[in-house]
Amino acid sequence: MSFGALSIAAVCTLLAACREPVGGGPEVLAEACTVTEPTRVVAAPPGFVADPAVWYGLEVLGDHLLFTFDRFDAPDRVYWRFDRCTGELAPFPALAPGLHNPHAITTADGLVVYANDAIGRPYILGRLDGDEDHEARPVPGLPESLDGAASAGVNPAPFHLFYERHPSERGAYAAGIGGATTTWYRHDGDPDVPAVALGEFVLVRGIAGEFGQYHVLYDDGELHRLDILTGDSELLLAGVRHFQPLAEQNKVVWQELGDDLVETIYVHDFATGDDLAIAVNDFAQQSWLRDPEQGDLGGVRVSDHGDLVAQPGPDRVLVRVVRTTDAESFAIPEHIRFIGFAGEQIILLTEDDPERVLVLWDPVGGGVREWYRGADVTVALRRVDGDQVEYFQGDPGDSDTGTLWRVDLSTGERERLLVRTTWNPLELADGRYFIAFDRQVLLGPPLSGSAYVAEFTRDLKLVDPGTSLYTAIADDVTAYALLPDVGVAYLAPQGPAPGVWIHPLPLKQ
C-alpha cells in the first residue's frame, strides 16, 4: 500500500494511535515446540491495551518468533525474540526502532537476519541466536536505489539476493528493445563483506529442481546459466529475444532476436543442441509490454510437465498449441480468451454474455468440458483430479470472499464444499479447512520512503465441509504464520488474553 509522502507525524494524526511502548515486558507462559491444544505461549506486557487501528507484528524465523507489542513507528519500539522450543525470551535490539520486515537466510553458522529502514535501505542484523552484541548495519556494497519489496520468513539459501531495477518506457522482459532491466546482488551474511553484483538482466527464470541455478537473459540477447552459489555464468545461447524453461526437461522455449516483426520460436534441447521450430511471433512489435492494451503479449505458456506450449495472441486468443517433442499442433476450439494451463489441460473462456462459461480443453486426449457457467465474478480453478474439479467463486462485488465448489465433469453434479471462504483456503490432513478472513486494513511497516505494507486484522477459522460448522480460532489477529511441524502461530492483541498463541493443526506434509 502506498501512502505517498505521508510523514510519520501525519500517520499518527490520522490514526490517533501513536503511543509509547508499554512498561515491562511480555511473560513466557509455555514452551511450544510441540503443543497438543491451543496455547498462549507469551502473554502481552502488564497493562497492555491494544489500539484497534494499530498493526502489531510477528514473524516466524525457524524455531524463533519475533514480535512486538508496540506500533511500528514508536520511537522506543521493542521487538522480542522467543525460542518456542526452549522458552527463552529476550529483547532483539538489532531490530531497533526504524527497522522493519525482519527475514533471514540460512548459513552454516545459523540464521542471519536482515531488515529495511523507512526508505527501503537494507540492513544486516547478525545471527538470530548469536551471543554477540546485536548491532544493525547497512548491507555493504549495495547502491542507494533498490527495489522496496521485502522478503519474509526464512530463506533456505545461504545468501540474500537484492534487486536494483532500471525502468524503461519501452517495455520489459525481452532483449534488444531498450526495455527495463534488473541488476542482481548477492550477499552472504557477513556484515564486513560487500555484496557482489551478479549481472544486469532483462529476464530471469529459476531452473526447476536445481537449487541456486537460474537462466538469465542479457539485453544483448545472450542466454546464460547462472550459479548463484558460486557466481559462475555459462553462455548457453546467443540471439535470444525471450525464453521460457520447460519443467525439468533440460530444454527451453526461446524466440529469436530478429527483425522485431516476425520471429521464430524454438524448443532448444541442451542435451543434444538441437532446435525445433514450433511457432512464429508475427506480432512482435506489440509484444513485451510495448502495447499498453495487450499486457503480457509475446510470451508463451508452458504446461505443468512441459509437454505442451500455448501461444496467446492479441487479446489473449490462442494462436497455436503445440507439443514440445515433435512440434505437432492441435486444432484450437472456438473461444474468447485463453486463461491458462491446469496440468496438461487448458482453461478457456468460451462465452461471456449473458453468462460466463469456462471450459477445460484436453489438446492431446481431445474433448472440451464445461466446468463453470454463471455470473461475471472472480472464478479460480484450484484443482483438477480426473473428472473432479474444485474451484472458488467470488461473491458479487467482492473477489476476496466467496464459495468453494466441487464439480463432477462426467455427471455435471455440483457440490458446495464451503459456503464462505477466501480464494485460498488451506485444506488440512483431516479434511477440514483453515481460513484467514481479512477484516480491517491497517497501515503496516514501510518498504521504502513512499510504500508501506498493507496489513490486516484477520479472523482465523476452521471449517468442516461435512457439517458446514465454522469454529473460531481467534479474531482480530494482526499477524500469523504457519509452523510446518505444529500448526499456526499468531499474535492476538485483542480480547481478555492478549499475546502470542500457537494453535495445533494437522497440516498436510
Rounded to whole angstroms, the Cα distance separating 373 from 378 reads 12
| Amino acid 155: pLDDT | 94
**Cβ 401 vs Cβ 419: under 8 Å:** no
Show Cβ contacts of residue 131 under 8 Å, excluding neighbours closer than 6 positions.
Answer: none
| Amino acid 160: pLDDT | 95
Residue 9: φ, ψ to 5°: -60, -40
**Cβ 446 vs Cβ 101: under 8 Å:** no
| Amino acid 147: pLDDT | 74
| Amino acid 197: pLDDT | 95
Bond before 354 cis per omega within 30 degrees = yes
| Amino acid 23: pLDDT | 54
DSSP 271-320: TT--EEEEEEES-GGGTTTTSTTSTTTT--EE-TTSSEEEEE-GGG-EEE
- Beta strands 181-187 and 122-127 are unpaired
DSSP 238-256: SSEEEEEEPTTSSEEEEEE
Residue 432 C-alpha cell reads as 477440514
* Residue whose cell numbers read 544483448: 220
**Cβ 422 vs Cβ 436: under 8 Å:** yes
Q: Closest Cα partner for 105 from 65, 66, 58, 62?
A: 62
pLDDT by position in tens, the chain (length 509):
333 322 333 333 333 333 344 457 999 998 778 889 999 999 999 999 999 999 999 999 999 999 999 999 999 999 999 999 999 999 999 999 999 999 999 999 899 999 999 999 999 999 998 665 578 999 999 998 887 667 889 999 999 999 999 999 988 899 999 999 999 999 999 999 999 999 999 999 999 889 999 999 999 999 999 999 888 999 999 999 999 999 878 999 999 999 999 999 999 999 999 999 999 999 999 999 999 899 889 999 999 999 999 999 999 999 999 999 999 999 999 999 999 999 999 999 999 999 999 999 999 999 999 999 999 999 999 999 999 999 999 999 888 899 999 999 999 999 999 999 999 999 999 999 999 999 999 999 999 888 898 899 999 999 999 999 999 999 999 999 999 989 999 999 998 999 999 999 999 98
**Cβ 418 vs Cβ 403: under 8 Å:** yes
**Helical segments of 274-431, H only:** none
Dihedral sign computed on CA atoms, order 245, 246, 248, 251: negative
Dihedral sign computed on CA atoms, order 286, 287, 291, 294: positive
**Phi-psi region for residue 273, left (φ > 0), alpha (ψ -120 to 50) or beta?**
left
Residue 80: φ, ψ to 5°: -115, 145
Q: What torsion do the CA atoms of 23, 29, 34, 36 make, to the nearest 10 degrees?
A: -120
Residue 168: φ, ψ to 5°: -150, 155
| Amino acid 35: pLDDT | 87
Rounded to whole angstroms, the Cα distance separating 208 from 384 reads 22
Residue 50's alpha-carbon distances to 15, 55, 479, in angstroms, are 13, 9, 14
Count the neighbouring beta carbons within 10 Å of the beta carbon of residue 66: 21
- Summarize the chain as % helix, strand, coil (round to 5): 5, 50, 50
Element (H, E) at 10: helix 8-15
